[in-house]
Structures are given as C-alpha cells and as structure tokens.
Chains A and B, each alone.
Chain A
Amino acid sequence: MTKLVKIVIGLSLASGTVFAQPAPVLVAPPAPSVAGDPSGAPAPADVDLSVAQKPNLTPEEMVAQARQYQQGMGLALQRIQALQETARRQKDIIKLNCVADKLVQTKANVSIADQALNALQDNVARADEGGRTHEFTRLTIINQKVQVLSAEAENCIGEDLSFVGATRIDVDVDPNIPRDDPTQPATPVTAIDRPPPDRAPASSPSV
C-alpha cells in the first residue's frame, strides 16, 4: 500500500471520527480482583483508548443513536454504489474493482448493523442493560468501519489525482525499413528470354 494511501486512510479514520456522530464517552469498569491475591488489591486496568465499553446513554438515546448510525451507513452505502457506477462509466477496471471490494464489505457490515439494531431494540424492551450495551457497542464499531470503507471508496475514485493516465504505446518505425514483407516467398515470374542458338545460319534462304 503506498505511503499516500496510508496517509489518506489515516486521515479518513480521523475524519471519520470527526464527521461521525461523537462517540459516547465510556468509562472502563474497574478490573476484577485476581483470585488468590492475598492483598486483595485491584489489578492494573487495561485502558481501551479507542472505544469505551459502557455508554452513559439512556435506552431511548441508545436506540435513537443507533438509528442515526443506521441512516448514516445507508447513505454511505448509496454513496459507494454511486462511486461504483462512476467507475463503470469510466471503464476503469482498477477503480471498479477497488470500489466493488469496499461495497461488498459495506453491505456485509450494514446487514450486521441491521441485526444489531433489532437486537438492541429487543434488549431495551426486555430491560437487558448488558445486552443493549453490547449491541450498541457493536453498532458503534460497525458504523466506524462503514465510514472508513466509505472514505476508502472515495479514495478509489480519487486515485486519478496521482494517476498519470492510461498506458499508451507509440511505435516508431524507422522510415528506412522497407514497407514490404521480405519474409514472403517470391512470386513466380515468367522468364522473358529467347531460346539459345542451336542451328546453323546457312539454313536461311539466299536473298
């Protein structure tokens, strides 16, 4: 992967974070005591800096946020499909393959997100706090993945910024080279030649 693409993806991840709905700040729960530890002191916590594990949203806010995630992912899917059509019109197989790959992944993630939303709603109805937290976390991660895929799909089409053009082959033939094909067998030619002399000249009538 080129350095430029890496930078773009990194920026995309950051922008995804900027342009997406602000993720809720989750507080990591205290690490459980290690069994057999005579001191009973809590073990040092592994802090997850990317996504917190426990949202502090109400169930209704979770569902509303999840629906916004779903709407955003739908728009991202439409955008990627539009980019695919653009690549198809350009008849650029490289772009088309790139966008198609992102589209497939996005569709899969959107499908998983739909299942997660349904499960979230069920868990809210059953007042299952653990379940709804789990599903909401899944939706948050999937949403970020879809935003990254959308940015990558944009990059697929935006490659022409550094793309110099289709390969063109120019053939310069030395004008000194004969145009005919000397590898062909010669055509038959009638020998325009008189028969050799084979008779005495004195056979002629005297004049």
Chain B
Amino acid sequence: MTRAGAKASGFLFALLLTLLAAEVRAQEAGVQAGYVGLPTRANPGDGGLIIGEGSRLHAGVGAEVGYDSNVFYQPSGALSSPILRVVPFLDLTNQQSSQSAQTLAVGVSYDLQATLQYRHLFSDDARIDASNIRDTFSPSVTGVLDFSSNQRLGLALSDSFSRSEEAPYTPGRSEIIRNSNLAAAQVHWAPGGGRIQGTLRYSNEVDLYEGDYHQDRNMDNEIMLDLSWRWFPKTALYVNLSQGFIRYLDDSQSNRDSNPLRAKAGIRGLITEKLSAGVSAGYAAGFYRDGTNPQGFGTLSGSADTVWRPTFLTSISLAYRHDFQNSIISHYYNVDSLHLAVRHAIENRVIVSAFGHYENRRYDSAARLDPNMPIVNAGPTRTDNATGAGLAADYYVKYWAYAGIGYNLVVNSSNAAFVDTTSGQTVSANFVKHQVFARVGLTY
C-alpha cells in the first residue's frame, strides 16, 4: 500500500469511528436525529490549519440537493418540494482524535465547533412563504474544555447551542423555532491505579420554543453521579444516579414541573476487542408537581446496546431502551425504542451507512389541552409509533472531498386524532415523509 493509500485508509477508518461514536452517543440520549447528515467534523490527525502548538483549525462545507415529499408532515394531501441544504463548519481543536481527549498540550484539551445549516425550498406554494420556511438558517455552536482528562482528577466544561427552524404541522402557520442550550460541568476522579472512578456532573438545558409551542419553554437542571469499577481495563461495572429539576418557564404550565429521578446499575465497555456492550437496569420516577408519575412497568429504566466491529472498516450497532421521557405535549411518555446502524467502508473510497429506528411512545392521559385547538384521542391514552430509516453512500474523491447520495424516511403512526374546526372532519396525526439527496462536500 502506498503512503497516500495508507493515509486514506487511516482517514476513512477514523471517520467511520467518528460517525459511529456520534451514533452511540445519540443512542445514550434516547433520541435519534433521524438523518445521516452532512459531515460536520474534521478529519482527525492530518489536515487543518496549524494555529499554534498542537492546535488546528479545520473547515469544511457540504451541499445537498434533493426532494422532500412532505414538507409540512401532513397525513394526506402532502406538499412536496425540491430542497437545497448547505452546511459549512469550522472546528478548532487540539485533540488528536475526535473520539478521545488525547491532548497535545499538557493537561488541557479543547474542541470548538460551529456549523450553520442553510435550507431553501424551491416550491412556489404560497404556504411555504406564509410559514416563513422558504429560507431558514439553523446555527449550532459547541465547545468542550477538558482539564487533565487522563489524570487522577479531571475537570470538563462543555456547552452546546443550537437553533432550528422547522416547518409547522399546519401549512401556513408560523414555523416551529427551537433554541436549545446545554451546558455541563463535570468532575472526574480516578484515584490510585484508576480502577475505581467517579464522575459528578451538573448540566443545565434550556429549551426555548417560538410560535405555537412557546408556552412549552422549559429549563432542566440535572445532577448526575456515576461510580464505576473497572473490572477490566476497558470494561466497568457502574451505578448511576441522576436527579433532574424540570421547570416550565410559562406559569400556566407549572403543573407539569417535575423532578425526575433515575437510579440504575449496569456494565459497559469491551467484551472482546471487536465487541462492546452496555446493559443497565434501574428505577425511574417523574415526581410531577400535580402528582402524575409513571406507574408499574413505567418505573423501570433499562437499556442494552452493543457495537460489533467484525472488520477494520465495518461496524454494526444495536440498541434498545425502555424508560420514560418528559413531553411538552403532556407530562411524559413511556418509551420503548430500538435502533440499528451499520457502517462499512469499501475499497478505502466509499463509506456506506444505514440506520433504522423505532419508538413506541405511550403518552400519559393528562395531555395538554388547548381550547383553541381541539384534540380528540381515539383511545384512552395517546400512543405514537415513530419510525425512521436512512441510507447514505459517500465516495471520497480525495480524503478532503466527497460526493454521495442519501435517503431518509420518517413515519409516524398515532391513535390520536384532531378535529378540523372548519370542516368538522377528524384528522389523524399520522404522516410519511421521504427525502432523497445528492451531496458534495469538502473538509480540511
């Protein structure tokens, strides 16, 4: 293998692992973005502009042209449109690898990333202009600062801000704007040989909605304590305790304030050099202000995930989760989710990825009622089955340039129904959305 070929192989494998790591982290949060989007991280290792000792500035831009079959997520009579999406990014970091905080500078590592997604809908339909979604900008900024990550005592600070502008469920109504900021401070302690580890983390997440969901603005403060024993160098038994404090910023929604508590134990890490797994089980409770709380099996919080790397350039991940999740349209919903992702590099030039995601959401009976927007549930409680799937293939002309295609499917099947006040008809909350894209991009 030539030097260029070896460089490309190393880059593709690193990118594969980067994507996989992001996928696993998304699973831990219980939410899947649903689309294998444009790369927004730099190639680890070589590349980038050297700013200082150990610091590199990476930049890149990607563009997608495609078709959206259901712009407004409608159950019938969907509006479709050609679509353009452009995502430039900047990444300033001194980390050797995007997976770990291996520092170049002594004791301190950082990673600052900024992206800006621009989306344009080409359809001439006036409802697109009425909803103000023809041209949208969705920025995101993420910063991570890690002190002494590999020492006995380490401190990590992080902050992530994102703004999204999404089409409303009702054509012509204002867009759904969400501003979200997640800040976290973490202390990590590993005395002696590092067999026993402890992590204490405080996080603050603010969700600010604009438009129809403005009264669902909320803030979540959470304290987490994680204690683990490294059974093997890369396998640990752990207990995890977290206490959250969710407060709605609108006084009319204060009855939905809650103090979610989770206590679980499990194992996580490598089983073999190619197989990693995590299993946990525990107790979860919501402690909502009005007395609402998950019941029975809903108080069980459990998860199981595994990642298998049969070859150097292939990874397969499977994850299952059972828990309850706070909901802005009710108090909470009990969720069972299943996620599968496969990624493979072919001939050191092509990266193929596919994913499938399914969630069964069972909302509590005390769903938020809006007198201006009548809702009629077909059953005693609302149940949604959300399904997502995607496929993407990227060909790397050079290690810094790629071209590819992508497909994304989003499906929601619900027993909830709404009353159309104009026609008096009952409309469901079901929708099916297809997206296909062709894309090109540069990363340096």
Query: Which residues of A are in contact with B by a Cβ distance under 8 Å?
Result: 174, 176-205, 207
Contact = CB atoms under 8 A, between A and B. Distances in A.
Contacts of A183: 197, 228, 230, 234-236, 238, 268-269
B68 interface: no
A202 B423 contact: yes
Given A176-B309, A188-B182, A182 B164 contact: no
A191 B329 contact: no
B28 A195 contact: no
Contacts of A198: 329, 367-368, 373, 375, 416, 418, 429
12 contacts: A179-B102, A182-B234, A183-B235, A186-B28, A189-B25, A190-B29, A192-B33, A196-B329, A196-B361, A200-B375, A202-B421, A202-B423
A184 B17 CA distance: 17
Interface string B376-389: 00000000101000
B373 A197 contact: no
Given A176-B274, A201-B74, A207-B126, A196 B203 contact: no
B260 to A, nearest CB: 14
Contact of A180 (B100, B130, B238, B422): B100
Contacts of B34: 193
A186 B307 CA distance: 15
A199 B418 contact: yes
A184 B417 CA distance: 43
A197 B429 contact: yes
A207 B173 CA distance: 11
Given A194-B166, A205-B130, A182 B230 contact: no
Contacts of A199: 169-170, 212, 370, 373, 375, 418
Nearest to A207: B126
Nearest to A184: B199
A188 B418 contact: no
Contacts of A184: 188, 197, 199
Ranked nearest first, the 5 interchain pairs of A and B with the lowest CB-CB distance are A202-B420, A191-B31, A186-B28, A183-B236, A200-B418
Contacts of A174: 273
Which of A174, A177, A187, A188 has the most CB atoms of chain B within a 10 A radius of its CB?
A188
Contacts of A187: 25, 158, 184
A107 to B, nearest CB: 43
B12 interface: no
A203 B182 contact: no
B254 interface: no
A197 B97 contact: no
A28 B235 CA distance: 79
B259 interface: no
B240 interface: yes
B111 to A, nearest CB: 11
Nearest to A187: B25
B270 A182 contact: yes
Contacts of B171: 201, 204, 207
Contact of A197 (B30, B73, B372, B419): B73
B127 interface: yes
Contact of A178 (B32, B99, B166, B182): B99
Contact of A182 (B180, B182, B276): B276
Contacts of B213: 195
Given A181-B234, A199-B212, 14 more contacts: A176-B312, A183-B228, A186-B25, A186-B29, A189-B182, A190-B182, A192-B162, A194-B176, A197-B429, A201-B169, A202-B423, A202-B425, A205-B173, A207-B172
A191 B323 CA distance: 15
Nearest to B277: A182
B100 A179 contact: yes
A116 to B, nearest CB: 57
B187 interface: no
Contacts of B222: 188
A203 B228 contact: no
B343 to A, nearest CB: 14
Nearest to B168: A204
Contacts of B28: 186, 189
A205 B375 contact: no
Contacts of B100: 179-181
Given A185-B224, A198-B329, A202-B422, A179 B97 contact: yes
A207 B130 contact: yes
A200 to B, nearest CB: 4
Nearest to B372: A203
B427 interface: yes
B210 interface: no
Contacts of B130: 205, 207
Given A189-B28, A203-B421, A197 B169 contact: yes
B421 A200 contact: yes
B329 A195 contact: yes
Nearest to B161: A190
A180 B96 CA distance: 12
A203 B21 contact: no
B80 to A, nearest CB: 16
B26 interface: yes
Contacts of B97: 179-180
B11 interface: no
Contacts of A192: 31, 33, 162, 164
Contact of A193 (B33, B73, B234, B238): B33
A207 B32 CA distance: 34
Given A183-B269, A191-B29, A204 B238 contact: no
B91 interface: no
B25 A178 contact: no
A177 B273 contact: yes
A204 B77 CA distance: 14
B253 interface: no
A202 B173 CA distance: 10
Interface in B286-344: 309, 312, 328-329
